Chain A
Amino acid sequence: MEFKGYRRADGRVGTRNYVGILSTVVCANEASERIAAGVQGTAAFLHQQGCGQTPVDVARVSQTLVNLGKNPNLASVLLVSLGCESVVLEEVAKGIAAAGKRVEQLVIQEEGGAARSVARGQLLAQQLVMEASTLPATLCPISELRLGLKCGASDTTQGLFANPAVGIASDLVVAAGGTSVLGEVTEFIGAEHILTRHAKNDAVASEILGLVHRMEARAKAMGCDMRGGQPTGGNIKGGLTTIEEKSLGAIAKAGTAPIQATYEYGVPPTVTGLVVMDSPGREPEILTGLAAAGCTMIAFATGRGAPQGFPFVPVVKVTGNRVTWEKLRDHMDVYVGTIMEGTESLPAAGHRLFGEMVEFASGRLTKAEICGYTKSMDIYVVGPVI
């Protein structure tokens, strides 16, 4: 099986062909958003970071921006900077250009304000879109797919139906030589003993335990029971009682493939197969982390109905909850409640989901793309705002 993708100068293959308008700092968000709003074929990435942070986080934000820019779903990138932020624009530009793609820069304080920046930014973006539009999609093997795994707005249908179906689809991507990235380390808590059984070796198993310990210690440092935050109030309404129960259901989306390696947040894997990436479970940060890791599509299992997509990566919503499927049709892409209804086996639903994901990879639009529910993103930082 193949999908129609866009092969980039560095050999990686995208499932979309956008011009990325990347804000380097929270203060450049408005200009970035206005540039993108005026030019079809662009996608703006906005976030709340980039300045007034510890050097650890500034480096993390810079590296995440570089990795987002390198994502093969972007043909080229326009970086929009305020001019006085901690993130060093030149370094981000250089990092992205190393992938062999065109990078343009715009500095609001040098242009003379937002209005002038938006005007010149739109003209630049138009040129970039014209260039990008000449690149044809070609048939590419599934081994070129890099899939991100996510679940959210969870209820108990997920652990039983949607996550296991996503797990089968992920196994099929891995079996074809592709890569699948599992984040949401918070949702390993209480299920890490099962994940470690899937680790390729003891070193990877111990890295997984280390990531879980670090995440749990951060939550416990607040001196309270994390229930209410994880699982969330909505998870609890959906029947999930503890983080352990949520995790035991959440890890089903990783399937049964061996875990090859672990990575820090937003770092692109250097191996193929199933890998783990450090990240929290909240949508803006994990979706950004998966995109920075180079994922070109994301499978997102949801029970209660999470609407979020990502600006330039298709996010496929999979639900096993019939009420959500019927009430939230403008947000849900694939229904697997058929497993519960007895009209389809779990393996059959997983294979059907994989087939539909190949269609989405080949250009079929997800609901999040169609309704434009893709803007509220952020980068996961670990230190304070200072």
Chain B
Amino acid sequence: MPSHAGIDAIAIRENDNVATALRDLAVGEKIVVGVADHTRSVQVRQAIPFGHKLALTDIPAGTDILKYGEVMGRATQEIPAGAHAHIHNIESLRGRGDLEAKGTSHGV
């Protein structure tokens, strides 16, 4: 893992499509995101509180959300690059007793 000084958000793996904010990020800011061993620039589209995630690319609805290079959920709507990525647009694929109760199957 690189040193985190000088970066505003971090993604651990190259294929992650979300990054975690290392400070509060304001709308319109152009920020430096540490992605694996390099950095890239992203324009912040919505205010992102410290510790929350933003999309690194335009993520279509139904796409797997990748963090640590692993699937951590699925987009329930399109998440544009720089937008807040959280419970309002990402669903969990596990522990979903609600889906079983409705009789729907929910493939992982």
> A and B, one complex?
yes
Is B51 within 8 A of A156, CB to CB? yes
Is A241 within 8 A of B94, CB to CB? no
Given contacts A223-B101, A245-B73, A342-B6, are A156 and B20 in contact (CB under 8 A)?
yes
Given contacts A219-B97, A340-B4, A342-B5, are A156 and B72 in contact (CB under 8 A)?
no
The docked-state distance in angstroms from the alpha carbon of A219 to that of B95 is 6
Can you list 22 A-B pairs with a CB-CB distance of less than 8 A?
A157-B51, A160-B12, A189-B94, A190-B93, A191-B70, A216-B94, A216-B95, A220-B95, A220-B96, A220-B97, A220-B100, A223-B97, A225-B97, A225-B99, A226-B95, A241-B65, A241-B87, A243-B94, A245-B67, A249-B68, A323-B50, A341-B5
Chain A residues whose C-beta falls within 8 Å of the C-beta of B22 in the assembled complex: 340
The docked-state distance in angstroms from the alpha carbon of A323 to that of B87 is 23
Is B51 within 8 A of A244, CB to CB? no
Contacting residue for B98 out of A156, A223, A248, A321, CB 8 A: A223
Given contacts A157-B51, A241-B73, A241-B90, are A248 and B10 in contact (CB under 8 A)?
no
The docked-state distance in angstroms from the alpha carbon of A321 to that of B63 is 30
**Docked complex: A215-242 residues within 8 A CB-CB of B:** 216, 219-227, 230, 236, 238-239, 241-242
Q: A239-B20, A239-B51, A243-B94 are in contact. List 12 more A-B contacts (CB 8 A).
A: A156-B53, A216-B95, A220-B97, A223-B101, A225-B92, A225-B95, A226-B92, A241-B85, A241-B90, A242-B72, A244-B71, A339-B1
Interface size class of B (residues with CB under 8 A): 35 or more
Shortest Cβ distance from residue A5 to the other chain B in the assembled complex, whole angstroms: 34
Footprint of A on B, CB under 8 Å?
1, 3-6, 10, 12, 20-22, 49-53, 65, 67-68, 70-73, 85-87, 90-101
The docked-state distance in angstroms from the alpha carbon of A239 to that of B20 is 8
Q: Which residue of B lies closest to A344 (CB)?
A: B3
Given contacts A155-B51, A156-B20, A239-B51, are A244 and B1 in contact (CB under 8 A)?
no
Footprint of B on A, CB under 8 Å?
155-157, 159-160, 189-191, 194, 216, 219-227, 230, 236, 238-239, 241-245, 248-249, 303, 321, 323, 339-343, 345-346
Is B51 within 8 A of A224, CB to CB? no
Q: Which residue of A lies closest to B20 (CB)?
A: A156
Is B101 within 8 A of A156, CB to CB? no
The docked-state distance in angstroms from the alpha carbon of A323 to that of B86 is 21
Contacting residue for A244 out of B4, B20, B73, CB 8 A: B73
Chain A residues whose C-beta falls within 8 Å of the C-beta of B71 in the assembled complex: 190, 244
Given contacts A220-B97, A223-B97, A303-B51, are A242 and B4 in contact (CB under 8 A)?
no
Q: Which residue of A lies closest to B2 (CB)?
A: A342
Is A241 within 8 A of B97, CB to CB? no
Chain B residues whose C-beta falls within 8 Å of the C-beta of A222 in the assembled complex: 97
Chain A residues whose C-beta falls within 8 Å of the C-beta of B12 in the assembled complex: 160
Is A244 within 8 A of B93, CB to CB? yes
Shortest Cβ distance from residue B1 to the other chain A in the assembled complex, whole angstroms: 6
Is B5 within 8 A of A241, CB to CB? no
The docked-state distance in angstroms from the alpha carbon of A220 to that of B4 is 39
Contacting residue for A227 out of B6, B53, B92, CB 8 A: B92
The docked-state distance in angstroms from the alpha carbon of A342 to that of B90 is 31
Chain A residues whose C-beta falls within 8 Å of the C-beta of B91 in the assembled complex: 242
Chain A residues whose C-beta falls within 8 Å of the C-beta of B52 in the assembled complex: 156, 239
Is B97 within 8 A of A346, CB to CB? no
Shortest Cβ distance from residue B77 to the other chain A in the assembled complex, whole angstroms: 14
Contacting residue for A221 out of B70, B92, B94, B97, CB 8 A: B97
The docked-state distance in angstroms from the alpha carbon of A227 to that of B54 is 20
Shortest Cβ distance from residue B64 to the other chain A in the assembled complex, whole angstroms: 10
Is B51 within 8 A of A190, CB to CB? no
Q: Which residue of B lies closest to A338 (CB)?
A: B4
The docked-state distance in angstroms from the alpha carbon of A348 to that of B106 is 43
Chain B residues whose C-beta falls within 8 Å of the C-beta of A238 in the assembled complex: 51
Is A159 within 8 A of B68, CB to CB? yes
